[in-house]
A and B are shown apart, each in its own frame.
Chain A
Amino acid sequence: MRASGAAMSIGKLGRSAVGESAFRMEARGVSKVFGAHRALDHVDFGLLPGEVHALLGENGAGKSTLIKILTGAYQPDGGEILVDGAPVVLNSPLHAQTFGIGTVYQEVNLLPNRSVAENLFLGHQPTRFGLVDRRRMERESRGLLARYGLDIDPGSELGLHSVAVQQIVAIARAVQLSGKVLILDEPTASLDRDEVRRLFEVIANLKREGLAIVFITHFLDQVFALADRVTILRNGKLVDTCRLDALTRTELVRKMLGKDISFSGSTSLKTERPTTEVLLNFENFGRRRSVRPFNLTVHKGEVIGVAGLLGSGRTEMARIMFGIDPADEGRATMKGAPVGLRSATEAIALGFGFCPEDRKADGILGELSVRENIVIALQGKLGWFRALNRDEQLDLAGQFGEAMDIRAASLDMPVKLLSGGNQQKVILARWLATDPAFLILDEPTRGIDVGAHAEIVRTINRLRDDGMALLVISSEIDEVVAYSSRVVVMRDREMVAELRGEDINPGVIVQAIATHGETAHHEAAT
């Protein structure tokens, strides 16, 4: 119902004037295929002048592929791109610039080693007799920066300014050189609150000047604060484009996560209480620019599910607990004794295990064999001088390989040749070999097939029954409900809710992700 209403509103805007679209920029039915994977499937996207248009979607939704097509970094395999109603082919980001399309990335793509003025004018510096007229360049920079409320010395080195200032300089450059469409790709990801506010003022001003702005972010608060319309992608398909004032937060989250979650039923079955023995206690544990301090108690024999959207701070929470990014606030105790958790080595020595989100980059050692991948964490724990010999290694690998049902032709084949599900099992086996007391799994079921999916969930349940404590991060709400004894909800880098018992059901979780923790329960109940 809602979807059709939104489609109508686009229809009106898109086809009101026949032949001449109202859109500043438009993507019609664009597709992009990588090998067997369809990253973008007939997606329509229209951008109006003078609007901020948020683009939302979880990992793998096709957001970044669409952006790369709009900026000319990728060529679409199907469909077309129109600027001011005329079809265009964008060969590169630079070429897109000539059509008025400028982009600002999360990682500021400027030159920190050069002056602010040079960053604004590089490639277009005013010259006199073939030499750069530095005085004029700095004068013009000053005027340009003043429009963005920046009073900084244009001759100063860009890298010495805060990320927010660099971000605004990047916007100023993009707008000055392009001037029609501004694409902001997660510009706020490394900014603090005041800096975000400052950036928003700049964006709001540009909107009033008639610029068409695409805004990509993970922070829903920012979407509601800034955007006029939103386009939601999921698995490479368009879910919906609609006005934000016609949408509640819960509806938005539901569209992003993709399940038509019913508010009744499917409550967690794990009513059996965990053992009361406290394993870990985190008090005011946090890290600046990463996760706001949180309190969490972990008991033996329980699974804590972590729900939240991408970028909500859920991975950061795991990294702090495992000592990869050590906490700079609060304290942690294990069985009552204080622990530092300053490094991953320390965490492993305490009996922690961590299966990271990006299996390929941070998890498996692709060139090494299944056997070597399984024993490496245990060997790391044993240290340099107690090497496991080959027989011991094979024994271990065989034992855990069988326990985890790893399907490999041989334990000596490179792990990169295995399927995603089997790779995940290898990483699980690696940590199980160290006999951990506390295991952190970040998105353990991403990108693996349905069968392997069920097996991983079964394994999690089995480990819990064996008395291990687990912290499992997942964007699959049904999955979180299926194995969690408790669910913590992350939003905007903050733990906003801790749900237990009856509250562990998809409706309450979605509500908590969308709104503040205190109100989640009531809203769900009404």
Chain B
Amino acid sequence: MNRSLRPLLATVVIFAIAYAAAVMQFPALFSTRVLGNFLTDNAFLGIAAVGMTVVIISGGIDLSVGAVIGFTGVLVAVLVTWLGVHPLLAFAIAFVVAAAFGAAMGLVIHYLEVPAFIVTLAGMFLARGGASVITQDSVPIDHPFYKMITSLYFRLPGGGRLTFLGLTMIAVFIIGAILVHRTRFGSYVYALGGNTTSASLMGVPVARTTILIYMLSSVLACLAGIVFSLYTSAGYPLAAVGVELDAIGAVVIGGTLLTGGYGFVFGTFVGVMLLGLVQTYIIFDGTLSSWWTKIVIGFLLFLFIVLQRLVFAASAQGDKAPGRA
């Protein structure tokens, strides 16, 4: 079996066990209502995490995701509430801004050969600062279109709701999976994560691919920002602080190797669901501080990093052999 599947399999097993254990304690957790809320509550995180998966498989990192979510929310809120622009036009403007922002980061990363960590850190400050300069306050969005969208849902058997937001996330995951696993662009992403020198010698358009990767991440962060603004019906410059780190956590827990080259979009989905499960459990329990979420995430991350090390160290002799000249 493909060894990079093993961490993914472990994530699935851990999710199943954790969910079963939680259901034993709180039987109410096992309902379409809870599952439906899982999807809705984590929609923005899941969408951003798909972009992050692509970035990390390519061997990069994008720290600007949370800031772009915040910036998008503020931009859309200001356009809709203050300037009276129709939400759909506001979304379009936000997408164009985000795409340009991501492309600029990709350009700097590739042509100036600056580490992605630094470039996207700068991007994070820029986006967060930009949002705060537009407004310091939360700007409510009260538009009929918003009300219409948020009230869209399918009723699931058992009383749960599969909302438009939850469906959007699922659609992003499916399209993301096809893009990464079934297109040439996807194979270029893995190629960059494997070895950039080899990739360019093999004819991978490294510049174009790098720029597209960061564009994709910013556009998905923008979509996450729109979903977040629909979810909260407001734009707030300090919204989604640290979401990029949650996204990185979900990606790694989902079995993607932080050094690039290996990973699955589906794994990230399970990772996001696992984070959602931890949060929901703590809410159900009612006595635990919500900070326990962070402790559990920290613990899971450690577990998965160690697991990946073990899996790849156990079967790495093939990689290591050509190293010695």
Contacts and interface: CB of A to CB of B under 8 A. Distances in A.
Given A106-B325, A131-B178, A112 B318 contact: yes
Interface in B246-300: 261-262
Contacts of A159: 316, 318-319
Contacts of B140: none
B36 to A, nearest CB: 31
A118 B183 CA distance: 12
Nearest to A161: B318
B318 A123 contact: no
B34 to A, nearest CB: 35
Contacts of B316: 159
A391 B4 CA distance: 57
B322 interface: yes
Contacts, number: 91
A123 B198 contact: no
Interface in B50-77: none
Interface string A39-71: 000000000000000000000000000000000
Interface residues of B, number: 34
Contacts of A387: none
A119 B195 CA distance: 12
Contact of A130 (B4, B183, B187, B322): B183
B191 A131 contact: no
A113 B187 CA distance: 11
A190 interface: yes
Contact of A111 (B182, B186, B199): B199
Contacts of A512: none
Given A113-B261, A118-B187, A122-B187, A190 B197 contact: no
Interface string B213-230: 000000000000000000
B202 interface: yes
Contacts of B151: none
Given A112-B194, A122-B191, A160-B318, A189 B201 contact: no
A74 to B, nearest CB: 15
Given A97-B203, A113-B261, A113-B262, A108 B322 contact: yes
B155 interface: no
Interface residues of A, number: 35
Contacts of B178: 131
A190 B325 contact: yes
A207 B182 CA distance: 36
Interface of B: 2-4, 178, 182-184, 186-188, 190-191, 193-195, 197-204, 261-262, 315-316, 318-319, 321-325
Interface of A: 93-94, 97, 106-114, 118-119, 122-123, 125, 127, 130-132, 134, 156-163, 166, 173, 189-190, 289
21 contacts: A94-B200, A107-B323, A109-B197, A109-B201, A111-B194, A111-B202, A112-B194, A112-B195, A113-B193, A122-B202, A122-B204, A125-B187, A131-B182, A132-B186, A156-B2, A157-B2, A157-B3, A159-B319, A160-B318, A173-B202, A189-B325
Given A94-B203, A122-B187, A163-B321, 20 more contacts: A97-B203, A108-B322, A109-B198, A110-B198, A111-B198, A112-B194, A112-B319, A113-B190, A114-B190, A122-B202, A123-B203, A132-B186, A157-B2, A157-B4, A158-B318, A160-B315, A173-B202, A189-B325, A190-B321, A289-B324
